[in-house]
Structure 1
Amino acid sequence: MSDRSFRFTHAITRAPAPSIVDGLRAVDTGTPDLAVMQAHHADYIATLRETGATVVELPALPAYPDSVFVEDTALCLPEGAVVMRPGAPSRLGEAAEMAPTLRALYGEVVAIESGHVEGGDILTTEREILVGRSARTDADGVAELARLTARWGYAVREVETPPGVLHFKTDCSLLDAETILTTERLAASGCFDGYKVIHTAEGEEACANTIRFNDLVLMPAGFPKTAERLAAAGYDIRQIGNSECAKLDGGMSCLSLRFTPRG
């Protein structure tokens, strides 16, 4: 079994802009504090670097309040990158801004040109690419993604994001080649049949979005019962402050593009 879905040499991040206070949010739970977000972001980057990865830090884009959430702009695979077409109109320009950075790192970069897909709806495992239909990702976008990634030998499986959940990965994340952290409401759909699953603790559904990055699992701070479950399962956990990104429906995976380019 390979481990290309969670072992990486590179990550791309983007500094939060002062305009983050105008970022999109499903429910208004308060205005993000930029200084606190910057401190959390620095901790996040330091943790990625702790694994030996090269972290590309891109400058803030004040014209795009949500641009700190770089994951939505692209899907990065070893063979190449796919530039996304975000379903939120205010975020369309973010993908174009990311494309030059990807072209500098990859030999092949392609782009979604019909429908809409956001990276937060994509979970890449060792055996397949799961894509959740959501308010931001539609059938045409999923079909286009399947067509583009087929050249590299990937199988795309369309799944459903639970009602009221922004992105598929709001409710799940990859822990290793066979294991997925998921909320019970998402797992109940059967989309992870054939995988091992660890459920978030009751009342801690908001920590389902973690990332496995090399030997570490980065999870948002403040979810002790789920942290205990992950530690008991043998994972090396790093808890990162996420209070401000959470106000904009952002989590651990949203803040980086993670990959090992083959050239």
Structure 2
Amino acid sequence: MTNPSFEFSRAITRRPSSSIVDGLRAKDLGTPDLDKMLTAHAAYVATLQKTGAEVIELPPLDGYPDGVFVEDTALCLPQGAVLMRPGAPSRMGEVAEMAPTLRAAYDDVRQIKGPGHIEGGDILVTGREVLVGRSDRTDAEGVAELSAIMTEWGHTLREVFTPPGVLHFKTDCSLLDAETILSTQRLDASGCFDGYRVIHVAEGEEAAANSIRFNQYVLSPAGFPRTAEKLRKAGYEVVEISNTECAKLDGGMSCLSLRF
């Protein structure tokens, strides 16, 4: 029996576009370097493929600078896919670009119609529930619309709250296995993970919280050695991938793929 929260046979990624230099960012940490991002993206795709998964690589979207961050466009579950409604106006069109690929992969594709907004970066699927963080990009109406679909599909949805100044819920947490969460201390302090085993990222390494468990590997951003060591000591097989360029656009490991 596979665990749909971290065992996957397929993933969708999108190559970064040269327009990435115009991507959204909360604060200016410098202009992303496309060549460096392409190299890191290729390493990311290769790691997913190494697990035996099929990776569907979509072409760059010049009209959408943030198009590489495909996770925000949809939620993929065994029952079907749900097309999101991004909270950033410049990203709304990315959903229509993703829709044909998901319709080819799934019989049942639903859509968040609005007026609310919700992005995939705010959704963490665990072994027992779907956690959705309210954030600057995900509002109460968006959560309510998704909740109705989750109920129909037999999932429990629980709304939680993302710390102030943190872009997405998964900026500060990731799933390590069905019962274990990697989290920053500030997010865990809210009590949202009560009942789970929680591993805290090392102090000063908060950006390492956006990792992903994909089959046997935990893909983790490079440059956070104490957190990587913690994960290895806990028995996880960690693959570190450069995230310097995506980080300039508030992006991380989970943002770069849809996994199902």
Q: TM-score, normalising length from structure 2?
A: 0.99
Counterpart in the other structure of 2:136: 135
Runs of at least 4 residues off by over 3 Å: none
Query: Across the two proteins, how many residue pairs are aligned to each other?
Result: 259
Quick one: which amino acid aligns to residue 100 of structure 1?
P
* Aligned mates of 2:41, 2:13 — CA distance in 1: 9
3-state DSSP of counterpart to 1:191: coil
Counterpart in the other structure of 1:126: 127
Counterpart in the other structure of 1:191: 192
Structure 1 residues 92-171: aligned runs within 5 Å: 92-114=92-114, 115-171=116-172
* Aligned mates of 2:150, 2:184 — CA distance in 1: 28
Counterpart in the other structure of 2:67: 67
Quick one: which amino acid aligns to residue 164 of structure 1?
G
1:186-215 per-residue CA deviation (whole Å, 9 max, x = no partner) reads 000000000000000000001100000001
Aligned-residue offset at 1:61: 0.4
Where do 5+ consecutive residues of structure 2 fail to align? none
Counterpart in the other structure of 1:12: 12
Q: Residue 244 in 1 paired to residue 255 in 2?
A: no
Identity %: 72
Quick one: which amino acid aligns to residue 219 of structure 2?
L
* Aligned mates of 1:236, 1:89 — CA distance in 2: 38
Aligned-residue offset at 1:2: 6.0
Counterpart in the other structure of 2:43: 43
- Do the aligned residues in 2 keep the contact of 1:82 with 1:110 (CA within 8 Å)? yes
1:107-144 per-residue CA deviation (whole Å, 9 max, x = no partner) reads 10000011000000000011110000000000000000
Aligned-residue offset at 1:22: 0.2
Counterpart in the other structure of 1:203: 204
- Do the aligned residues in 2 keep the contact of 1:221 with 1:239 (CA within 8 Å)? yes
Two-structure CA RMSD over aligned residues (Å): 0.8
Counterpart in the other structure of 1:23: 23
* Aligned mates of 2:63, 2:208 — CA distance in 1: 29
3-state DSSP of counterpart to 1:227: helix
* CA 54–2 in structure 1, closer or farther in 2 if over 3 Å, else same: closer
Aligned-residue offset at 1:149: 1.8
* Aligned mates of 1:79, 1:37 — CA distance in 2: 33
Quick one: which amino acid aligns to residue 192 of structure 1?
F
* Aligned mates of 1:207, 1:67 — CA distance in 2: 22
* Aligned mates of 2:161, 2:154 — CA distance in 1: 23
3-state DSSP of counterpart to 1:175: strand
* Aligned mates of 2:231, 2:208 — CA distance in 1: 12
Aligned-residue offset at 1:151: 1.6
Quick one: which amino acid aligns to residue 212 of structure 1?
R
Counterpart in the other structure of 2:229: 228
1:64-121 per-residue CA deviation (whole Å, 9 max, x = no partner) reads 0000000000000011000000000000000111011000000100000110000000
- Do the aligned residues in 2 keep the contact of 1:2 with 1:177 (CA within 8 Å)? no
* Aligned mates of 1:84, 1:99 — CA distance in 2: 10
- Do the aligned residues in 2 keep the contact of 1:2 with 1:126 (CA within 8 Å)? no
* Aligned mates of 1:99, 1:249 — CA distance in 2: 24
3-state DSSP of counterpart to 2:153: coil
3-state DSSP of counterpart to 1:60: coil
